[in-house]
């Protein structure tokens, strides 16, 4: 199974200025994420899904985090489609507040 980089999220950089031609591909990748995720975890035991290695998140916590971020990326797609200059912002405070609002607090 493919192992994800262990770099801190806040140390990562992302290309800004996705070309117009790439928007459709990005939207399709986002739409396909639930199916790809299910395919990767369908045969994983419950014990492994919730198991942790040291201080790292479990598989289940990673999946939950992606679910928590869904309103953010949906808002950003709406911003792109509406050609807004400003896009939905993600901050730790906003993400935690959103998680607590739907009962996902730690």
Q: How confident is the model at residue 33 (pLDDT cuts 50, 70, 90)?
A: confident
Report field, pTM of the whole predicted structure over 0.75: no
Comparison of pLDDT for 102 and 55, the residue scoring more: 55
How is the chain split into domains, by residue range? 21-101
Is the pLDDT reported for residue 39 higher than 70? yes
Comparison of pLDDT for 8 and 67, the residue scoring more: 67
Sign of CA dihedral 17, 22, 27, 32: negative
The two three-digit tokens of residue 41, written as one number:
């975890």
User: Distance between CA atoms of 17 and 85, rounded to whole angstroms?
Assistant: 12
Question: Tell me: the pLDDT tens digits for 51-88?
Answer: 998 888 999 998 888 888 877 777 877 877 787 777 66
């Amino acid at each position: 199974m493919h192992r994800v980089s262990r770099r801190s999220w806040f140390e990562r950089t992302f290309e800004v200025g996705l070309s117009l031609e790439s928007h459709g591909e990005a939207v399709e990748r986002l739409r396909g994420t639930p199916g790809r995720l299910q395919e990767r975890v369908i045969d994983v035991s419950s014990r492994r899904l919730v198991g942790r290695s040291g201080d790292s998140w479990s598989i289940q916590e990673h999946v939950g985090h992606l679910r928590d971020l869904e309103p953010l990326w949906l808002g950003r797609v709406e911003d792109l489609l509406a050609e807004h200059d400003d896009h939905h912002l993600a901050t730790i405070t906003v993400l935690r507040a959103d998680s607590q609002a739907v009962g996902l607090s730690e």
